[in-house]
């Protein structure tokens, strides 16, 4: 069986950078804490915790402590509050997420209502919302467009969560264009996501079976899986080689592999080795 691993599979630049910054911070003498998980991958979170970094759910006292800001970023008030109660901040927000936060801030200052195409619950979206003053409208699918609220908007700017698919963005944008006369649009899908999505439009067509590796909590892995599944029904979302089933590969001559932005290289290597050993 021929195995092809997508060039863009696995850690993106922002995740690699955040993990490196986290491990550097852990080497200092202060206790390092982070609000939630550094990235959406259980293996990575475990390694970070083993290095001594503590996951917390709220800020209590920051005396002699470092607060690590994760790749997806945080709202301004959280960071300011952390500083006030004594934390030293190590900001591992991905520069591309920072750029989106900055675009949103500038647009708001220029009188635009901010609309974000993305997942309301996702840390990145919450961080963007937390960096502007007025309430942003977050839309994750065309079915969830709040038409009543949208009708009242005169001047709006649409920005996009870095890991969205362009197909979802286009669908939502087409509806918004018909409702808001003064609408500006900024495609803020990041470069690593674009590369991954470009490859996943070809990989399922060139392979009998496609494996998409990543945590079930990873939004960008979900997007990769959904695109792949729409092009090739024999697409499977796995977290590690333990999820692989023999029956998936019946008469398969080739398999394509990709992985979400928070999937470590060793997980991808283990899947490849497993396939080489067993098929």
Binding residues vs ligand SF4 (CB under 6 A): 12-15, 71, 94, 96-97, 162-163, 190, 192-193, 220, 261
Nearest distance from C-beta of residue 271 to ligand SF4, angstroms: 21
Strand (E) or helix (H) holding 184 = strand 182-185
Nearest distance from C-beta of residue 15 to ligand SF4, angstroms: 5
Q: What are phi and psi of 68, to 5 degrees?
A: -90, 120
Which residues are bridge partners to 11 per DSSP? none
- Told to judge if 105 belongs to the known catalytic residues of this protein, a careful annotator would answer no
Cβ-Cβ contacts under 8 Å for 152 (sequence gap 6 or more): none
- C-alpha 128/C-alpha 108 separation (Å) is 12
Q: Which is nearer to ligand SF4, 15 or 210 (CB)?
A: 15
Nearest distance from C-beta of residue 193 to ligand SF4, angstroms: 5
**Nearest CA-CA partner of 213 in 244, 191, 234, 189:** 244
Q: Which is nearer to ligand SF4, 13 or 248 (CB)?
A: 13
List C-alpha distances in Å: 21 to 17, 93, 277.
6, 10, 36
- C-alpha 55/C-alpha 80 separation (Å) is 19
Q: Which is nearer to ligand SF4, 163 or 263 (CB)?
A: 163
Nearest distance from C-beta of residue 273 to ligand SF4, angstroms: 26
Residue nearest to ligand SF4 (CB): 14
- C-alpha 66/C-alpha 222 separation (Å) is 32
- C-alpha 45/C-alpha 62 separation (Å) is 21
From 124, 143, 250, 276, active-site residue: 124
183 three-state secondary structure: strand
Q: Which is nearer to ligand SF4, 195 or 232 (CB)?
A: 195
Q: Which is nearer to ligand SF4, 94 or 238 (CB)?
A: 94
**Residues catalogued as catalytic:** 124
């Amino acid at each position: 069986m021929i195995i092809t691993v997508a060039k863009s599979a696995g850690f993106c630049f922002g995740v690699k950078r955040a993990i490196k910054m986290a491990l550097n911070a852990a080497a200092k003498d202060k206790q390092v804490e982070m609000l939630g998980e550094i990235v959406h991958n259980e293996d990575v979170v475990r390694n970070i915790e083993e290095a001594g970094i503590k996951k917390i759910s709220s800020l209590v006292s920051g005396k002699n402590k470092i607060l690590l800001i994760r790749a997806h970023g945080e709202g301004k008030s959280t960071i300011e509050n952390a500083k006030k109660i004594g934390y030293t901040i190590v900001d591992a927000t991905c520069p591309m997420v920072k750029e989106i936060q900055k675009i949103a801030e500038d647009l708001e200052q220029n009188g635009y209502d901010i609309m974000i195409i993305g997942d309301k619950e996702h840390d990145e979206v919450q961080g963007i919302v937390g960096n502007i003053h007025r309430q942003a409208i977050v839309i994750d699918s065309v079915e969830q467009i709040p038409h009543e609220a949208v009708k009242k908007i005169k001047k709006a700017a649409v920005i996009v969560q870095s890991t969205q698919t362009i197909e979802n963005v286009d669908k939502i944008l087409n509806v918004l264009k018909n409702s808001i006369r003064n609408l500006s649009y900024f495609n803020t899908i990041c470069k690593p996501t674009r590369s991954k999505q470009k490859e996943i439009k070809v990989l399922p067509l060139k392979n009998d079976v496609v494996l998409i590796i990543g945590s079930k909590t990873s939004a960008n892995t979900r997007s990769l899986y959904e695109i792949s599944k729409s092009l090739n029904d024999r697409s499977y979302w796995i977290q590690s080689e333990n999820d692989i089933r023999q029956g998936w590969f019946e008469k398969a001559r080739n398999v394509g592999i990709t992985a979400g932005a928070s999937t470590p290289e060793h997980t991808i290597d283990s899947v490849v080795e497993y396939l080489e050993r067993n098929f």
